[in-house]
Amino acid sequence: MAVAARVDATARPVSDRREIASFLRTDRRYAAYALGDLDGPNRHRVAWAMAHDASGEPIALAAHHEGLVPQPLFLMGDPDGCALILERILRPRDAYFLAAAEHAGAMAATYELDPPIAMLRMVADADTFTPFPGPAERLGPADVDELNRLYQLGFRTGFPASVLADGIYYGIRVRGRLVSAAGTHVINPVEGMGVVGNVMTHADFRGHGFAKMVTSAVTGELLDQLTDVALNVHADNGPAVAAYARLGYRVHCPLEERLGRRRTGGWGLMRPIREALRLTWQREPR
């Protein structure tokens, strides 16, 4: 059911870091990606907006990445406030929403939506982390071609070497071939938050614990610098959830990812993009 924007609320663009960070810290683990964007290398490409109630108190926050559509659009806080932001401030034609289930109505008020993809936000810290030793080795810029082959990314969609220079990636080789890897989506030392992702083991080498080994290596190095490490996993991927739990990750909250197209124009244009995203955006241990 669509949610109408609150008549007693206001919404505006916001750029003050302290104001944004203050709201994100109210649930920093839910806001892990957004905290990374706050100080990340692409921070100048992120548009922020905030909604306030009649007394001026902040009630909702949203962040949208600029670039080729669709780009991530994160929602946090009061659903009515999020609806107001989407109605008046952040109005991308296409968006890849990351939000809680309670925000579905806010999105539906102005967007045609794909069915949701149920996700879990899992988190670990120094108290819960349980290392899983293995022959994982730190990867660097010189390994980018091997990494892209493992992820089956082509020339136009492959990672640049800077991803390995700026992030933390570990891999496992078997007879000289990179067969498993994991890395980071965001790292924010200021906020003490990191996000692990791009966990992938080649189909011929699954079942040996390699995904746990590389994820453990990345998590351990992050926790040497940060207080919290987070990741997203498909809720129905039992083996992945169990693998992360073995490392000390705990479920913080459910999430939903879904593509949306603003109620102007044809929805069918999104189909090839949806398929490409399904194949490349989420890699998990099996």
> Considering Cα of 56, then 66, then 141, then 202, what sign does the dihedral take?
positive
* pLDDT beyond 70 at 82: yes
pTM over 0.85: yes
Q: What is the pLDDT of residue 68?
A: 78
pLDDT tens for 33-48 read 999 999 988 889 999 9
* pLDDT beyond 50 at 184: yes
Same fold: 10-113 with 123-252: yes
Map out the domains of the chain as residue ranges. Answer: 10-113, 123-252
* pLDDT beyond 80 at 273: no
Under CATH, to which class is 10-113 assigned? alpha beta
Burial 51-76 (b: 16+ CB within 10 A, else e): bbbeeeebbbbbbbbeeeebbbbbbb
Kindly state the percentage of the chain with pLDDT values over 70.
88
pLDDT tens for 126-181 read 999 999 999 999 999 999 999 999 998 654 568 899 999 999 999 999 999 999 99
Tokens 């991927």 sit on residue: 237
Instruction: Name the CATH superfamily housing domain 123-252.
Output: Gcn5-related N-acetyltransferase (GNAT) (3.40.630.30)
